[in-house]
Structure 1
Amino acid sequence: MGPKHRPAFVATFHAFGQQWGPAEGDRTDSEFWEERLPAEMAELAGGLPDKQKYDAVIVDEAQDFADSWWTPVLRSLRDEEKGGLFVYSDENQRIFARFGRPPVALVPLVLNHNMRNTRQIHESFGPLAPSRMYSRRGVGPAVRFVSSPPEDALEAADDAVDALLEEGWEPRNVALLTTGHRHPVQVERTDFHDQEGYWRTYWDDDVFYGHVLGCKGLERRAVVLCLNEDGSRDRARERLYVGMSRATDELVVVGDRDRTARGRRGCGEAARARLKACL
């Protein structure tokens, strides 16, 4: 692929605006993210010369886009009427409380085939999906469940990672993801490297430690999913769906089977029974 066929810019929504110079803000301040930042980005994008705008914009994980984020995206196009806008979204992975929709008509194309996970992994999180998908991957090892109360789940998850390494998995193919508090290794790496440096460690030849909130769209061949919360919080079903679907070949779930199935908000009784059986 030649230089002219490569994307001109690939980054997060925040970095998308930083190229135009908007102010920094507190990452924990929702008012900054959903009001002040997009308003400033929209104003700056509207004043850009055409040579700094884009022929097309691709938005991934669009289910987490706020309404206010679409305006700066559209204004960054050279031609808002004819410019290309391509949106990728999975409602099953809506794990933030944002409910924005693009203010333009889009042609929907539904992907109903799973090309990522083995059949065993696909079937394990199937009860969490509201619509039927079909696995196009081959068979693999059975999904393993390690029983542990939430307060002991981190230690049990560490043991599960050690077991995978002893079985011959290379560290660069293994990830440990949490649903509750972050793993101490993730906290340590973030404090040492800062947020941007932490994410660069994803490409290191080492086990990756992350949280399901930050790992949508990512994958590892082997994943240990640590359920270090009871499943009663908002978007718990979506968090579990995201975590279980990050493994392509082997999945180990660590947690309390009864509490996990019982606590999934948004699941009907039949789905909870199926989930418990799969785990």
Structure 2
Amino acid sequence: MKQLSNYSIEQKYDAILIDEAHTFVPSWFKCCVSALKDSENGDLMIVADGNQSLYQRSKFIWKSVGIKAVGRRTISKIFDLDKNYRNTQQILSAASEVLKPINDRVNSSLEQQDINFPLIQPTSAVRQGEIPQLHLASNSENQDKSIVKTIQILHKSGLNFNEIAIIYRHNTRLKSIISMMNQSDIPTYWVSKDKKSKAKYNLNLKGVRIITCESSLGLEFKAVLLIWLEQFDDSIGKTKTDAEILARRKIYVGMTRAQEYLHLFSNKNAKIAPELINGNYFDIIDEG
């Protein structure tokens, strides 16, 4: 903010588009307003999806950050913002189904919060594709072997390794599975290993991307493997707590990073497994 106050009018902007606004904290919005040539009447467009809100932030109102919130919670059909361009319809439908059990809790709490980003429900995806696959295994060893096998199949089908991403929640067995991949001549890039690995990330780096749900926000890949769904057992509950909402949003974010191919991997005893099986949005693969 201090640096922006020293900028001349010529150094500022006529219009600013904020994408992924659900990741913003109040001070970031203030900076964007200050970066406009006309902070009162300049063009500021905010794009957000509350379904992808994974971080807590302090409560605020638009007025407190200098924004005149005209037309908020709207979707402009002029720009076709009601359509999904990243995912196939099959991926979008499967991912949206994960959020259904918490939708009533989230919608009922909207008015209790100072600022709330809209829960985007696209009318349709513009592309059709393959049905996502749910791989079920009886133990961790079989599950990890099926992950490596699936990557090999995707690569043989024509995908580059850097078009494939493994998305995870906790890194309990990552070193082991990376070792398995290296032994199978599969290059890897552990994006979320540390701050340094995150900072140097770019599209040209070789290797299957290995990344957390949070760090995958805003990214997209031809194929996504969302692994170890038993780590999301807190997504199942009768009271629809904040923990359940967050867990389901993380699953949703991971699933919607996939452009063409989506594979979910789970222990057969995972609490969410019956729900996914009964939803009829997946091809079920028994990995033993």
Q: Name the TM-score, length of structure 1 as normaliser.
A: 0.69
Residues 60-111 of structure 1: per-residue CA shift (max 9 Å, x gap): 1111212232222211222101222111100000011125554321324323
Decide whether aligned partners of structure 1 residues 156 and 106 sit closer, same or farther in structure 2, where only a CA change above 3 A counts: farther
Q: Which residue does 1:211 correspond to in 2? A: 212
Q: Which residue does 2:147 correspond to in 1? A: 157
Alignment of 1:1-279 (within 5 A): 42-98=1-57, 102-103=62-63, 104=67, 105-108=69-72, 109-110=74-75, 111-129=81-99, 130=103, 132-148=121-137, 153-154=143-144, 156-181=146-171, 183-184=174-175, 185-187=188-190, 190=193, 194-197=197-200, 199-200=201-202, 202-227=203-228, 229-232=231-234, 234=243, 235-256=246-267, 259=270, 261=272, 272=275, 276-279=279-282
Alignment gaps of 5+ in structure 2: 76-80, 104-119, 176-187, 236-242, 283-288
Larger helix fraction of residues: 1
User: How many angstroms apart in 1 are the aligned matches of 2:219 and 2:191?
Assistant: 21
Larger strand fraction of residues: 2
Residue 180 (structure 1) shift: 2.3
Residue 58 (structure 1) shift: 1.8
Counterpart contact for 2:192–2:215, Cα < 8 Å: no
Equivalent residue letter for 1:106 = V
Decide whether aligned partners of structure 1 residues 158 and 106 sit closer, same or farther in structure 2, where only a CA change above 3 A counts: farther
Residue 240 (structure 1) shift: 0.5
Equivalent residue letter for 1:223 = V
Residue 205 (structure 1) shift: 4.7
User: How many angstroms apart in 2 are the aligned matches of 1:150 and 1:54?
Assistant: 55
Decide whether aligned partners of structure 1 residues 192 and 45 sit closer, same or farther in structure 2, where only a CA change above 3 A counts: closer
Residues 222-269 of structure 1: per-residue CA shift (max 9 Å, x gap): 111113523417311111001111111111111236635279xxxxxx
Look up the SS of the partner of 1:214 in the other structure.
coil
Residues 101-124 of structure 1: per-residue CA shift (max 9 Å, x gap): 543213243233222222221221
Residues 124-167 of structure 1: per-residue CA shift (max 9 Å, x gap): 11213446433233332221111147955555423321232233
The percentage of counterpart residues that share the same residue type is 22
Counterpart contact for 1:65–1:100, Cα < 8 Å: no
User: How many angstroms apart in 2 are the aligned matches of 1:150 and 1:67?
Assistant: 44
User: How many angstroms apart in 2 are the aligned matches of 1:216 and 1:125?
Assistant: 15
